[in-house]
Amino acid sequence: MLDPQAQALLQLMKDRGVPELNALPVLQARDFYLVRKALTQPDPLPTSVCKDHRLPFGAVREYRPLGVAAHHVLPALTYYHGGGWVIGNIETHDVLCRQLCDASGCAVFSVDYRLAPEHPFPAAYDDALLAFQWVVDNAARLHIDPFRVAVGGDSAGGNLAAAVCLGTRDSSQPPAFQLLIYPATLMYPDTPSYHANGQGYLLTAAAMHWFMDHYLPTATDRHDWRASPLKAPSHARLPPALVLTAGFDPLRDEGLLYADAMAAAGVATEYICFERQIHGFITMGRVLRESHAAVGVCAEALKRYLK
């Protein structure tokens, strides 16, 4: 059964004639996404540090929890925001990053990677990889432990986090953990959830095609494991993972398929589905109570794997 709070939110959006993002020009969709997010997110939590660092592609925003000395060495999470590789930024996910920072005790580094269509695939992946490497390489001055740096993200950000783990698998310092929140793992999927949940539950199949069409300029790109992590030749030797999905999300099944692929390859993998929820629910704590439970699950996993 759909969560009554999620159902009420969807009905309110329908009654008010809220447009689908794919019905808008890209720049307008980005502005609207930021406004819409603000209406459903909780108030931002305070942190001891909220500081932007400049990288060649854009900004990485650093958060450190309250009550922690500036010189204290912390584990860290490199976080990639959702938004279909087309919309979203560090502002749309500021509240979630603050929540994860506060609840986990980790430093969080939120990545403002380049967006399509101005910067199509593989620009977002390249930026995600560079940001993770920057965090590790600058661990000493950032007062974090380079051997306890996780990657994570929601939706398109979960896709990037999964791809970064694949891309760094044979490096000297791969991520210590991956937090994949309703990740996109298969471009142009044909799964039961994609058909059953592709209309009426906020994220639609049409919107996903809009995002993917902007991100992937050629048909061959969709088969590249950097875009479709599920298509990687192997999922062995990856960092431990938590994959979190939502029951009424078109992306539910590809998240489960990815968790199963990693588990079958011997990766320590946890899978949790919030059966009553819709795509994007973890950022909607102002209107969806289960959002807070999901944040708590993610934070506990970070504490457990980065201890």
Task: Give catalytic residues, as residue numbers.
Answer: 155, 249, 279
**Cα(164)–Cα(205) distance, integer angstroms:** 25
Which DSSP state fits 18? P
**Cα(241)–Cα(268) distance, integer angstroms:** 6
**Cα(193)–Cα(249) distance, integer angstroms:** 7
**Cα(248)–Cα(202) distance, integer angstroms:** 9
CA distances from 181 to 35, 154, 241 (A): 22, 4, 10
Please list the alpha-helical segments (H only) found in 90-223.
Answer: 94-104, 123-137, 139-142, 156-167, 192-196, 205-215
